[in-house]
Amino acid sequence: MKHSTEKLNKMSKYTQLFTSILALFFSFQIQAQTDVYKDIEFNMPKVLETGFPNKSVNITEFGAKPDGIFKNTKAINDAISDINKKGGGKVIVPRGIWLTGPIYFKSNVNLHMEDGALILFSRDFDDYPLIETSFEGLNTTRNASPIMAHNVQNIAITGKGIIDGSGDAWRYVKRGKMTDAQWKKLVDSGGLVSQDGKMWFPSESSKLGHESSSNFNVPDKITKEDLVKVKDFLRPVMVSIVKSDRILLDGPTFQNSPAWNIHPLMSSNIIIRNLDIRNPWYSQNGDGLDLESCKNVLIYDNKFDVGDDAICIKAGKDKDGRDRAIPTENVIIKNNVVYHGHGGFVVGSEMSSGVKNVHVSGCTFIGTDIGLRFKTTRGRGGVVENIYISNIDMINIPSQTIGFNMFYDGNSPIIEEDQSSDAEARNEKLVPVTEETPAFRNIFFKNINVINSDEAAYFVGLPEMNLKNIVIENSNFETKKGITIIDSDEIILKNVTLKTTESGIPVTIYNSKNIDISTLEIDSKESVSLKVLGEKTTNVKIPENVKKNQKLLQTSKDLPKNAIK
């Protein structure tokens, strides 16, 4: 009896210890969730979270087979329908290779990927019907996405499994993005090469679609009825979440998407965390996450290694976007790592419904083409404002670490052998301000740390709509080239250190006003530190050492008197 009592006491202690550890774990989880809302500069609503009944089904109960050969489309969708009819719960995907066609979400379903689970989407394009949707901000026709969540509430994809979109079956590839050996292997695998030898297509239908398009991915040279002939070209995003509410993506790896990887559109109350988002670096339109016309969103603790923009904020394109009139707003982005990508954090170029109230902090960009990127062009319309970016570390950025370009024409920032040097050339022509005129204003950077990169900052507004009120403070840039400011109003660099390592004047200001770089510290081997140009330039406050030593300053003949303060 004594032995039995001692055993019970020992079990009780273990139970208490386990309970304490569990409570501590959940307290950490709650604290981590609370910290996401810490130090936010605007009134951020609490994101409504998902919740599911304690019910589950396993896809094997519906005939699914994990051999990578049997197509499990019906089994997975039957499991989703079953748990939905029961009021919601978890659909379990166990270890194995689960080949499938499109997965259609229903409300109150958590698709849970157990360790070792791999969902592999079919390479048979006939599995994906053409549907009316939105892509790159335009209303258009595309193939159905591998994962479709349209007009649903309270859904999740969780666990540690892998979701693979078989994107290599869909994507065309540019010759300039591959080595000779890679290109030979790709061509030898089948498909077709363009007449100029610069593009590989997986099929004749894909090649015809490209030839039928004058504007990127929309075949506008043929009728809507003929789109079926170019079906292979109409690559879908991998995860399409449209007009839905309370979304959780937590844990899995999302990789190898046909076009964009994850695309929440016109949705709300979204949490995206603990994901690995991957695409080959050469993948055309291989974005990681494109958040478009959404509100109340948390994006944190994710890793990106992709072929295009990593974390991209969008809001529709041109008239289609303006007619939609749904901005992206109330977004927190924290503690993400970006390896390869055209941009680490990006706004645009499709932003015609507007973007506002975005906080970005604690992110690290390693070798990303451009670090913090803002892009638009005439014709977009829309206002981007109240963006707060802080505590960002960047290393080995081959282009601009901070880049604003209101003349963006859609070209990749990668210097490819078939890309002209003036791919994003400016147009000086002054045009009237209308609803088609985009605007960037009230954007704040703090504690930006950059080493071993190419260009510190590049600000290019429109002559008729300058960049307005952009502030960088308490930041350090160690780059080859310095800072360019064009067609801008109220650019303030406060307690910023700039060290340039290559020849070239570190700071250039052109046709800009109300520029304050008086506390900028410039470390350069050049005999001239600052160049101020343009007949429209006024009210420029320059560093004290440049004031005292005019040899450090270069100006143009058309610069107005008293432009420099």
- Cα–Cα distance for residue pair 75/177, rounded to 1 Å: 39
Whole-angstrom Cα distance, residue 30 to residue 46?
13
Give 470's Cβ-side CA count (13 Å radius): 25
Query: Strand 192-193 relative to strand 199-201: parallel, antiparallel, unpaired?
Result: antiparallel
- Measured CA to CA, the distance from residue 418 to residue 266 in angstroms comes to 36
Catalytic position from the list 112, 263, 342, 359:
342
- Alpha helices for 193-329 (secondary structure H): 204-211, 318-324
**Is residue 368 within 8 Å of 345, Cβ to Cβ?**
no
User: The tokens 């659909």 sit on which residue?
Assistant: 91
3-state SS, residue 471 = strand
Residue 24: helix, strand or coil by DSSP? helix
Q: Is the peptide bond before 56 cis (omega within 30 degrees of 0)?
A: no
Is residue 112 annotated as part of the catalytic site, yes or no? Answer: no
Q: Are 341 and 394 in contact (CB under 8 A)?
A: no
* Cβ 523 vs Cβ 496: under 8 Å: no
Q: How many C-alpha atoms does 363 have within 13 Å on its Cβ side?
A: 31
Please, is 399 exposed, middle or buried when counting C-beta atoms within 10 Å of its C-beta (0-12, 13-18, 19+)? buried
Q: What is the DSSP string of 55-123?
A: -EEEGGGGT---BSSS--HHHHHHHHHHHHHTT-EEEEE-SEEEEES-EE--TTEEEEE-TTEEEEE-S
**78 is known as an active-site residue:** no
Q: Two tokens at 349?
A: 């170029």
Distance separating alpha carbons of residues 17 and 302, to the nearest angstrom: 32
Q: Within its chain, how far is the Cα of 165 from the centroid? A: 18
Contact (CB, 8 A) for 240 and 143: no
User: For the sheet containing 192-193, what is the strand order?
Assistant: 173-174, 199-201, 192-193
User: With contact defined as beta carbons under 8 Å apart, do 327 and 353 qualify?
Assistant: yes
Backbone angles phi, psi at 299, to 5 degrees: -130, 110
What is the C-alpha separation between 19 and 17, in angstroms, rounded?
Answer: 5
DSSP conformational letter for 536: T
Number of Cα atoms under 13 Å in the Cβ half of residue 447 = 10
Cα 306 → chain centroid = 10
Which residues are the active-site residues?
308, 342
